[in-house]
Amino acid sequence: MTSPHPRFDIPPDLNVEESYQLPFNMHDGKLHVLIGATGSVASIKIPFIINKLFEIYGDRVDIQVVFTKNSEHFVNPGKLLQSVGGQYATPGAAGPAHHPAIHSCPSGEDFSLPDMKINIWRDNDEWRLFRNRNSPVLHIELRKWADILLIAPLSANTLAKVANGLCDNLLTSVIRAWNPQFKILVAPAMNTYMYSNPVTKRHLDVIRDQMPWIQIINPIEKVLVCGDIGMGGMAEWANIVDRLVQELGGDDDSTPTESSAPLSSVESFNPN
């Protein structure tokens, strides 16, 4: 479906015009889900998560996605948009991909439900939107807009930035400036050896102790892309959606979706 007023925008190296309006609405009464994608293979699950949320909530939900630069090796923003029904705002607006080799969304799935339109944001958009003192500050506006932030997957590197307070890109700036009255759900996903490195526990402990608004969806044991077997794989995407729905409410019955794997596998590690 081609929307007459597409809400999507990955613009080129130019500044947006003075007349540019942020393509989202603070007060439309919808549920506002902000999704963060990081440089883990599990980012290929993001289209499934988005799809399911539209399936559950229909047009009562609005979704925006913030990409880290490295996440684009795993999800192609352009293809994600195609698959969920969005489009570019203007001819040529896509701009060059960060990386020449961009991997497509999972194929063989029909994501083309009508009205699935999402906004995708990349680091450079912060600066493109900033023209003068009265310009919107993107990481602040996204935080104000969002009812919840889901980071799935959360890479080891972005986990380290969060625990250490670094904010050198759009996603970590949103996190650093988060309003603690709202929740952040994070689903770590990493190689088993990365996960069992003591520094991971240190970071997760910092989050549990000092940032109670961030909730950790524990990883699970699985065969990882690198061939290693063990703890560290991202929780099943369907379980991640369930957790999100539990936090967000507003679905018809607020019970786990049919397609969910048993929740126990999500909770098996570190139950406190």
Ligand X SMILES: Cc1cc2nc3c(=O)[nH]c(=O)nc-3n(C[C@H](O)[C@H](O)[C@H](O)COP(=O)(O)O)c2cc1C
Residue (119 or 158) nearer to its own copies, CB: 158
Interface characters, 209-248, with its own copies (x: CB under 8 A): -xx-------------xxxx--------------------
Structure tokens at 94: 């896509």
Confirm or reject binding of residue 39 to ligand X (CB under 6 A).
Answer: yes
- State the nearest-atom distance from the C-beta of 120 to its own copies, in Å: 20
From ligand X, its own copies, none, interface partner of 208 (C-beta below 5 to 8 A by class): none
Closest CA to 170 of 102, 129, 98, 121: 121
**Which of 203, 222, 237, 239 is the binder for its own copies (CB under 8 A)?**
203
Whether 167 sits among the annotated catalytic residues: the reply is no
Distance (Å, whole) CA 179 – CA 1:
35
Options 80-88, 113-121, 126-134, 243-251: segment touching its own copies (CB under 8 A): 126-134
Catalytic residue among 59, 226, 254, 255: 226
Let me know the angle formed at the C-alpha of 188 by 267 and 245, rounded to the nearest 5 degrees: 60
Q: Which amino acid is at 119?
A: N
Distance (Å, whole) CA 18 – CA 132:
10
Query: Which H or E element spans position 215?
Result: strand 214-216
Structure tokens at 121: 């944001």
**Sheet order of strands, 61-67 included:** 118-121, 61-67, 31-37, 148-154, 183-188, 214-216
Options 86-94, 155-163, 246-254, 261-269: segment touching its own copies (CB under 8 A): 155-163
Confirm or reject binding of residue 5 to its own copies (CB under 8 A).
Answer: no
Q: How many CB atoms lie within 10 A of CB 42?
A: 25
Distance (Å, whole) CA 75 – CA 106:
9
Distance (Å, whole) CA 120 – CA 10:
7
From its own copies, ligand X, none, interface partner of 22 (C-beta below 5 to 8 A by class): none
Provide the annotated active-site residues: 226
Residues that bind ligand X (CB under 6 A): 38-42, 68, 70-71, 126, 130, 137, 155-158, 167-168, 173, 189-190, 194
Residues that bind its own copies (CB under 8 A): 13-15, 41, 44, 73, 99-101, 103, 127-128, 130-133, 136-137, 140-141, 143, 156-157, 159-161, 163-168, 173, 176-180, 190-191, 193-194, 197-200, 202-203, 210-211, 225-228
